[in-house]
């Protein structure tokens, strides 16, 4: 059985281009793998709290010393981490906002990138504790940023997922969506072909 974790972060919910791309991929993937399980999170519809001092302190406080409020905070993070641990395939609907990932997705990362849980510190630097996972990123962008210094999103995702031990990442880009109807149509056509090829 294949466990799939699907996360969208568009401010337009299911109407966002990245959400629609990721959903089409999920449907094609599940048609091929009829024994799969799916966990879905829409970070716009159900956002996580942004990291603050209270939450950070809860994460780093030893379990036996946590207050009831801290236990509740950590329990929310533990659910997310266990979803990630159990996943064989992770599908991310990822729009580009102001040259970076959506703030809702950054909040998600701040709940799962926890020392001792998804990575650990060693004498040789951080070591990821997650492995054997495939990630598909469906990146929708109004402009064209790929392979330019303005694309901070791609390296960030590679680095932060890599911190946790996840290195098998495939990006499917739809760029130039706000640069005229012809360019947008071609970008979506190319992305859809790559999407379907990834399932085949």
Q: Which residues contact 41 (CB under 8 A, 6 or more apart)?
A: 5, 6, 7, 8, 83, 108
Query: Residue 141 corresponds to which tokens in the numbers above?
Result: 């962008």
Q: How far is CA 105 from the centre of its chain?
A: 7
- 31: burial class by Cβ within 10 Å (0-12, 13-18, 19+)? exposed
**Known binding residues for FMN:** 10
Residues ≥6 apart with Cβ < 8 Å to 161: 135, 167, 169
- Which 3 state secondary structure label does DSSP give 23? helix
Task: Give how far Cα 54 sits from Cα of 36, 59, 116, Å.
Answer: 37, 9, 19
C-alpha to C-alpha distance for 156 and 93, rounded to whole angstroms: 15
Indicate the annotated binding residues. Answer: 10
- Encoded tokens for 180: 């005229």
């Amino acid at each position: 059985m294949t466990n799939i974790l699907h996360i969208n972060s568009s401010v337009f919910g299911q109407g966002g281009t990245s959400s629609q791309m990721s959903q089409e991929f999920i449907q094609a993937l599940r048609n091929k793998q009829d024994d799969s399980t799916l966990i879905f999170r829409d970070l716009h519809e159900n956002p996580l709290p942004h990291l603050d001092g209270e939450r950070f302190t809860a994460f780093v406080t030893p379990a036996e010393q946590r207050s009831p409020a801290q236990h509740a905070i950590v329990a929310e993070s533990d659910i997310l981490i266990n979803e990630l641990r159990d996943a064989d395939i992770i599908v991310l609907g990822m729009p580009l906002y102001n040259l970076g990932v959506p703030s809702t997705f950054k909040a998600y990362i701040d709940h799962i990138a926890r020392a001792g849980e998804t990575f650990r510190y060693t004498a040789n630097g951080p070591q990821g504790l997650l492995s054997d996972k495939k990630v598909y990123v469906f990146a929708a962008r109004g402009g064209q940023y790929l392979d330019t210094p303005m694309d901070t999103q791609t390296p960030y995702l590679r680095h932060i997922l890599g911190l946790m031990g996840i290195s098998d990442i495939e990006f499917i880009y739809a760029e130039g969506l706000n640069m005229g109807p012809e360019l947008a149509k071609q970008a979506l056509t190319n992305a859809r072909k790559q999407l379907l090829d990834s399932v085949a």
